[in-house]
Amino acid sequence: MSIISRGFSGRRSGADVKLPPGQYLTTDFPVLSAGPTPHVSLDRWELTIDDGTKVLRRWDWKSFRDLPVETFTVDLHCVTRWSKLGTRWEGVSLDTILADVESDASYALAHSYGDYTTNLPLKDLMNRKAWIAFRFNGEDLAPEHGGPARLLVPHLYLWKSAKWVRGITLIHEDQPGFWEQLGYHNYGDPWREQRHWGD
């Protein structure tokens, strides 16, 4: 049993807003990472959708930026317990990205530049639930926050919103990604506090 440190409360703040269980509100935008920030030049950047065998769709930066863009405001919930509300983004909806993609796959594995991966059910990318986001707060997305472009899936914990996204593989059998292999919940719904295996 730990001793209590007199007068220590940490960084957390109470707030009147409704947060998922166990979260605290932050006005910062903490940078968390599992590795070095990749620096991807726009003339080499690509986004691909593949089925594990062949590429189904590919965009370079120019063709990606020709896609219809949405502006949206969402709340972010990180499994390390901070929540940042009302964040403004611009990005391309996964509904646009996956339109005309024919697949009977039920799952997706997102890949980043670097070696990060994360998995989720394909339906959690559809129906206005996910974007490839490239602008935050009116500015180009900074590299430490996942720029040039990141996946954004705000209804799940933020580790599912793969920074520096380079592609999404559509798969028939679910495949745990980087953190899901090592203790983190396979789905990750903040409102049901699904942080870890067995939650």
Partner 1 sequence: MSSHPFDYLDGNAAGGELSNIFALDVTAAEGQCAHCGATKPFAEARVYVRGPGLVARCAVCEHVLLRLVNVRQRLLLDVRGMTYLSLNASQSQESA
Partner 2 sequence: MWRTAKVVSLRNETTTARTITFEVPDWPGHLAGQHVDVRLTAADGYTAVRSYSIASAPSSDAHIEITVERLPNGEVSPYLTEELVVDDRVELRGPIGGWFVWRTQQAEPVQLIAGGSGIVPLMAMIRSRASAGSNAPFRLLYSVSEPAAVFYRDELRAVSDHDHSVGLTYTYTRVAPEDWPRVPGRIDPTLIASATWPSQHSATCYVCGPTSFVETAARLLTGSGYSPDKIRTERFGPTGDRQ
Contact positions vs partner 2 (CB under 8 A): 2-12
88 contacts 40 by C-beta, under 8 angstroms: no
Which CB, 16 or 28, lies closer to partner 2? 28
Cα distance between residue 59 and residue 152, in whole Å: 18
Closest CB 65 distance from partner 1, rounded Å: 20
Which CB, 26 or 96, lies closer to partner 2? 26
Instruction: Give the number of residues written for the chain.
Output: 199
Segment holding 62, helix H or strand E? helix 61-65
50 contacts 109 by C-beta, under 8 angstroms: no
Residue 38 as a binder of partner 1 (CB under 8 A): the answer is yes
Question: Stretches 12-20, 28-36, 47-55, 92-100: which one binds partner 1 (CB under 8 A)?
Answer: 28-36
Residue 144 as a binder of partner 1 (CB under 8 A): the answer is yes
Which among 119, 122, 110 is positioned nearest to 164, based on CA atoms? 110
Residue 192 as a binder of partner 1 (CB under 8 A): the answer is no
Binding track, positions 60-99, relative to partner 1; x by CB under 8 A: -------------------xx-------------------
Does residue 148 have a cis bond before it (omega within 30 degrees)? Answer: yes
Closest CB 150 distance from partner 2, rounded Å: 22
Collapsed DSSP state (helix, strand, coil) of residue 181: helix
